[in-house]
Amino acid sequence: MSEFSYIYLIPLIPLLTFLFLGFTAKKIKEPVSGYIGTAGLLAVFGLSLYTAYQYFFVSGLVNGKYEPVKIMIREGWVHFTDKLAIDLGILVDPISVMMLVVVSTISLMVHIYSLGYMHGDSGFSRFYAYLSLFTFSMLGLVMSSNLFMIYIFWELVGVSSFLLIGFYFEKPSAVAASKKAFIVTRFADMFFLIGILMVGYFAQSFDFETLNSPATYQTIQGWIANHQIFSFMGLSIFTWALILIYIGGMGKSAMFPLHIWLPDAMEGPTPVSALIHAATMVVAGVFLVARLYPLYYHIDGAFALRVVAVVGAFSALFAAIIALTQEDIKRVLAFSTMSQIGYMMMALGVSGFEGHEGLGYMASMFHLFTHAMFKALLFLTAGAIIHAVHSNFMKDMGGLNKYMPVSSIVFLIAALAISGIPPFAGFFSKDEILAAAFEYNKFIWFIGFIVAGMTAFYMFRLYFRIFFNKQTDYGDHKPHEAPFTMAFALVFLGLMTIVAGFIPFSELVSADRMPFHSHIHWGDPLVIASVLMAASGIGLAAFMYYKPTDYPDKVSAAMGKAYVWTKNKFYIDELYLFITHKIIFDHVSKPIAWFDRNVIDGFMNLLGVTTEKLAERIKFLQTGRMQDYAMYFVSGVIAIVMLVIYFR
């Protein structure tokens, strides 16, 4: 207990740097604010690593099980009723410690990288202030000890990402994107909030440890079995609550159909995309399900978990298909992220609970970890490339291998990792996911298998078109390698991507918190098949894109409509626009607006035009508008009275 007493410093430091930078933003000039933010994060990084060491290797393992440690900041923070109280506390357990490492590592790299990337930007200090705020919120989210706290940080993460996406507020598209992201995720959050309330009232607790304890889920399962609990459409209300919570996670994690904000969010600065949209915020949904995993697994025969699996698998496939055709490199990466998160969700959804059956859970967390490293690396490299050629589009690139050797190598490493080529990190986690899916359901495995091939293809399409393919004439403005701070972050993450796969993850993180042994069987046909699949995806990409050829055009022409639909992201955005603009605006808001404009405002204007003199005005009022109001009023009275008489 006491050995983690320092842990409140981890969220506190970024909060303090945020406050400091926020209040002095105008006084502190460029490099200094960056150094302050980075120094703070360095401390957080150190503390997180120390916590991980302490928890995993010194004190966490008690009798063969990783026991959670709860550090109370304030017990009984808010009392709802006698039984239902909310504590203010920090929960230290395998997944929160893992997330601490992920968040602090990526955030530190982004801080260092941005020293170079944001150089010369007029909002440099503001940028670092926002970064600190985001890091604080995200750290708070992963360390929360109850649903109520996690919701608060969940929203704070939303607010700070709103600020970061809209950072370039001169750009209308960035402002629109930030608003879209905020509102779409808020829309999802409202389901989350209702889910929280429902869970709170049935389980009489918001605390994760209490919720996840066998006593709680056995009691609830008992109610469900005896039909003592309300059910709706054949599912118990508690399962609905879990699904509602999952919808909140879908919003943050950009699962279909709530993914529409993610591609637009790429309008933010690229380091922000790496931090928020690759490694931390978007995996919050996965983390949330993992956090409540025992509940998901034990209630109603894991029905809610199956929903997670199906949505995850579908999103993985859907996003991978779209990624095949995008031209903007950041959008390819955005859809790739969505696809990989779908993978993680899928893995959670197919998992069991005890021992080796919990392989999916472990694989999901493992993939979360490795994906954070290589996807942040991909985004940061993309940032370096964009920095160098001043364009997001692949058509403006090509032949960059010559100019940017370091970027080329680290991009290759990351692309190999995400494709699942050994010995890079992605291979290990991805194969665990596929193995878990294979045990559960062959169809889901097959989707995952296909997606693996597609992933390899679109990543190498990206790689070859950026670094090889045509030799673009860059004119006088030759692209140059990234400055030292940026290159440092790239190389560090590159190294992580190489070594992260060798972490014996199943010894550390598992569904029932009992370490188990899991290793890759190299001769297993599954492993061979998936590596072959990835290799053929890479081969195909090389064939089509290593040199300029006319295959891509031929293929897209042959695909016809399918290509157009895919390139336009299946018109999901248009569908939303249609619903909001054509249906809601036309049939709900417009008539009301019309009424307000023509009846109410029209009347006001009429008043203004016709009379200037007070007496006339009052006279006019007495005969006109007032009566209307009074009439509405009295008819309201009559309507309610009549309704009561009728229904009684």
Partner 1 sequence: MNLDSLMLMRDELVLTVIILLLLVAEILLSSKNKKYIIQLGLVLFGIYTFLAFLPNKTGELFGGSYNTYPLVHYFKAILAFGVFMILLQSVTWIKEKLLPYDFTAEFFILIFSSLIGLNFMMSAGDFLMFYLGLELSTMPIIALTAFEFWNHRSVEAGVKYVMLASISSAILLFGVSLVYATAGSINFDVIKGALHLPLLEIIGLIMIFIGIGFKISLVPFHFWAADVYEGAPTVISNYLSVISKGGAVYVLMTLLFITFTAFQKEWNWIMYGTAILTMVVGNLFALRQQNMKRFLAFSSIAQAGFILLAMLSNNELGVKAIIYFLLIYIFSNVAAFGVVHVISLKTGKENIDDYNGLYLSNPKLSLVLMIALFSLAGIPPVAGFFAKFFLYAAAASKGYYVLIFIAVLNVTISLYYYLLPVRAAFLRRSEHPIPYFRSDNYSRLAFIIAMAGLLALGLYSGVFEFISNISNIF
- Residue closer to partner 1 by CB (options 74, 390) is 74
Q: What is the 3-state secondary structure (H, E, C) of 428-450?
A: HHHHHHHHHHHHHCHHHHHHHHH
Q: Apex CA 478: angle with CA 278 and CA 329, to 5°?
A: 25
DSSP secondary structure letter of residue 579: I
Distance from C-alpha of 419 to C-alpha of 63, rounded to nearest angstrom: 38
By residue count, the chain amounts to 648
Residues 6+ apart with CB under 8 A from 191: 244, 245, 247, 248
* Sites of contact with partner 1 (CB under 8 A): 74, 77-81, 148, 151-152, 155-156, 159, 166, 169-170, 175, 179, 182-183, 186-187, 190-191, 193-194, 197-198, 200-201, 230, 237, 588-589, 592-593, 596, 600, 607, 612, 614, 617-618, 621, 625-626, 628-630, 632-637, 639-641, 644-645, 647-648
Instruction: Report yes or no: 351 and 359 within 8 Å, Cβ to Cβ.
Output: yes
364 near 433, Cβ under 8 Å?
A: yes
CB of 190 to partner 1, least distance (A): 4
Q: Least Å distance between CB 593 and partner 1? A: 5
The C-alpha atoms of residue 35 and residue 48 are separated, in whole angstroms, by: 20
Minimum gap (Å) between residue 158 Cβ and partner 1: 8
- Report the nearest approach of partner 1 to the CB of residue 194 (Å): 6
Provide the minimum distance between the beta carbon of 580 and partner 1 in the complex, in angstroms, as a whole number. Answer: 11
Q: Which is nearer to partner 1, 136 or 287 (CB)?
A: 136
CB of 601 to partner 1, least distance (A): 10
| Minimum distance of partner 1 from residue 596's CB (angstroms) | 6
Q: Closest Cα partner for 304 from 376, 217, 385?
A: 217
**Closer of 244 and 415 to partner 1 (Cβ):** 244
Q: Which is nearer to partner 1, 175 or 559 (CB)?
A: 175
Residue closer to partner 1 (CB basis): 237 or 495: 237
Residue 376 contacts residue 495 (beta carbons within 8 Å): no
CB of 89 to partner 1, least distance (A): 13
Shortest distance (Å) from residue 155 CB to partner 1: 5
HEC secondary structure over 71-126: EEEEEEEEECCCCCEEEEEEEECHHHHHHHHHHHHHHHHHHHHHHHHCCCCCCHHH
Name the residue nearer to partner 1 (CB basis): 550 or 612.
612
Closer to partner 1 by CB, 443 or 595: give it.
595
Give the type of residue at 298: H
CB closer to partner 1 out of 583 and 588: 588
The secondary structure of 362-399, three-state, reads HHHHHHHHHHHHHHHHHHHHHHHHHHHHCCCEHHHCCC
Distance CA 114, CA 121 (A): 10
**338: which 2 tokens?**
């969505």
Q: Which is nearer to partner 1, 157 or 368 (CB)?
A: 157
**Distance of closest approach, residue 223 Cβ to partner 1, in angstroms:** 14
Q: What is the 3-state secondary structure (H, E, C) of 160-180?
A: HHHHHHCCCCCCHHHHHHHHH
Cβ distance to partner 1 smaller for residue 491 or 607:
607
Query: Running DSSP on this structure, what letter comes out for residue 482?
Result: P
CB atoms within 10 A of CB 319: 29
Asked if 419 and 460 count as a contact pair (C-beta separation under 8 A), the reply is yes
Rounded to whole angstroms, the Cα distance separating 7 from 52 reads: 11
